[in-house]
Amino acid sequence: MELLADIGVNRPNAAETEMPGTLESFEVLVFDDREGEISQSDRPLSVETADEACALASRLARGHAGTAVVSRRGNTAIGEAGPALVLERHGRIGDFD
């Protein structure tokens, strides 16, 4: 059985198969303990890169119940956003969407 690479067929990587306008966004979610209930404190904090998001989440975790860094892929031109992928978490986090 021949492999596709052996006969000169290359599969495109993910970046080549995405629709034009697809972007990845990074957010830091902050959670606090309110009388035993873990809930999201404020709106997600938008950050430019995954590294910046992870560094910010680490710093913010010191004063909160927990933090999470999430990444989403979407097409802003049509208002489409994919599911959140948790890249890193610190402490206790609650539910989010």
Distance CA 20, CA 77 (A): 9
Residues recorded for the chain = 97
Q: What are the DSSP calls for 5-65, one per residue?
A: GGGT--PPPHHHHSPTTEEEEEEEEEEEEETTEEEE-SSPEEESSHHHHHHHHHHHHTTSS
Each residue of 12-67: pLDDT tens digit?
Answer: 444 444 556 788 999 999 999 999 899 998 889 999 999 999 999 999 999 999 99
51-55, 77-81, 85-89: the lowest-pLDDT one: 77-81
* Neighbouring residues of 77: CB distance < 8 A, sequence distance ≥ 6: 21
Q: Cβ(44)–Cβ(67) under 8 Å?
A: no
Distance CA 54, CA 89 (A): 9
**Which pLDDT score is estimated for 4?**
42
- H/E/C letters for each residue in 64-83? CCEEEEEEEEEECCCCEECC
